[in-house]
Structure 1
Amino acid sequence: MITLDHVTLTFPDGDSRITAVDNISLTTPPAFVMGITGPSGSGKSSLLALAATLIHPDSGHVWINDVDAATLTATETAALRREHIGIVFQQSNLVPSLTAREQLLVMAELGGDSRRQRATIRERADDLLHAVGLTEHSGKRPAQLSGGQRQRVAIARALVHAPSVLLVDEPTSALDQERGAEIMELISQLTHERSTATMLVTHDLGHRDSLDGLVTIVDGAIVDTDVPAEHQRLSAASR
């Protein structure tokens, strides 16, 4: 689960400061896809950066399961991110020289995993490539894959350490409508199958059916909420 508890984020602007995220509280439970939408410059990416622990809020708390990320050191935050958070960016950002399978396996090397953990990662990599429909393409490099296939690899890579939280930024922005719909359906399927708490930034509400809930942000604040009643109660009861 991920809970943003009254988080505010500002940036310097000359002699004053601009508020990018304005006192937002939002909870995303396991096996739930929370969509975040709003106009350009509304604070969606800043909110996702806070959720990813890439930046600390000016005030408020970011809870990843039962850990308050805002209180951690830089080293502790990096470990939390590596072990519990998967991130999918707008662009797939794959390493050109690595095959689809190697894109996933390199995460074990970067994480400094033990030999036993690496064996588990290898098994999970094959499982994930099968889950995203790329088993037959596991030996191909990014240049040999379509845009949709590269995004599937990026999703599998983000899940290879079995994170409890998945953060996705505009996953369909570089895809046509058909491929975009396939990616959204895949994210929804994997979220529910693997009990991941997923926050997903999108500008395309044509994929609304793939989301379990949706909040709209304008000028850094939530202005509209389309979330099941039982989840609203959960958010109200969160920290």
Structure 2
Amino acid sequence: MEISLKNITHYYRDGTGDQVTPLRNIDLTMRSGDSLVLYGPSGCGKSTLLFILGCLLRPSEGQVDIDGRSLLHYGEKELAELRNRKMGFMFQACYLLPTLTVKENIMLPFWIQGGKARDGRTEKKTVELLLEQLELTERADFLPYQLSGGQRRRVAMARALANDPEVILADEPTAELDEEKKDFVGKWLGEQAGKKKIVVVATHDPQLAVYAGRVYSLSQGQLQEKILGKGAVYSSG
């Protein structure tokens, strides 16, 4: 899979009517197996860029191509299908449904697809494996309010990966985690790129940089510098 951003600029009006431009003239290409960290302080535009990469937000200017096809050629229904089948999102707020158990929250992507992607037996096995990998098995029947912040974040991670997406987009995935769990999440996300997935992480946590193939700092709306992560070999898009 390939996602290409060409000359992306995005702006909006704030509460006073002034124009805010979090992204300016961004060029970026991601292919299967690429891992990238967008590093910078809160409010610098990381989440905006992440949402554009995930086709949740259409940019004010510029072009987004998915496998060589312009986003402009996707209707809303087709775009929703693309997101549901090929993209896994980890939002800064976990957005767990409060009346569903941990296991049921992880099952949500299957329910949204109406069972088309897998049979019930395979879905159950997938959820059980994710619960085990993310050390949540003992919390499978708990409701979100019964979990710690770090546990809720791991449930959101499991839900993002339930459908085995080709693209994983994570917004501040180590928030509310201790140092040990941060290391666990960083390694785990890095492993996903090794499975030929596109992995993009927006964070202000420098600890995640060592697990990425590319690290960009985002400042004044532009990808201003690049720092090689572990084992990284790449061009600037």
Q: Is the shorter-chain TM-score for this pair beyond 0.5, marking a shared fold?
A: yes
Partner of 1:41: 43
> Does structure 1 residue 163 correspond to structure 2 residue 165?
yes
Deviates more, 1:13-22 or 1:118-127: 13-22
Once the two structures are superposed, the pairs formed by residues 1-239 of structure 1 within 5 Å of their partners are: 1-12=2-13, 17-114=19-116, 116-192=118-194, 194-227=195-228, 230-232=233-235, 235-236=236-237
Counterpart of 1:203, as a letter, is H
Q: Letter of the 1:31 partner, please give it.
A: G
**Which SS does the other structure have where 2:234 is aligned?**
helix
Q: C-alpha deviations, 1:95-154, integer Å up to 9, x for none?
A: 222222211222212222338544433332222222323234323322333322222211
- Checking the alignment, whether the CA contact within 8 Å between 2:32 and 2:166 is kept in structure 1 is yes
Same amino acid, percent of matched pairs: 32
- Structure 2 unaligned blocks of 5 or more: none
Supply the distance in 2 between the matched residues of 1:168 and 1:143 (Cα, whole angstroms): 22
The amino acid of 2:224's aligned partner reads V
Q: TM-score, normalised by structure 2?
A: 0.86
Deviations 1:141-177 (A, max 9, x none): 2233332222221111001111111110011222233
Helix, strand or coil at the partner of 2:233: helix
| Aligned 8 A contact 1:41 1:219 in 2 | no
Report if the CA contact (8 A) 1:2-1:64 is conserved. yes
Q: TM-score, normalised by structure 1?
A: 0.85
More helix by share: 1
Residues paired across the two proteins, number: 233
Change (3 A) 1:157 1:71: same
C-alpha distance in 1, partners of 2:173/2:158? 13
Counterparts of 2:59 and 2:91, CA distance in 1: 21
Structure 2 distance, partners of 1:53, 1:137, is 32
Where 2:130 maps in the other structure, the secondary structure is helix
Deviation at 1:66, TM superposition (A): 4.1
Higher deviation after alignment, 90-99 or 77-86: 90-99
Q: Which region of structure 1 is more displaced relative to structure 2, 37-46 or 13-22?
A: 13-22
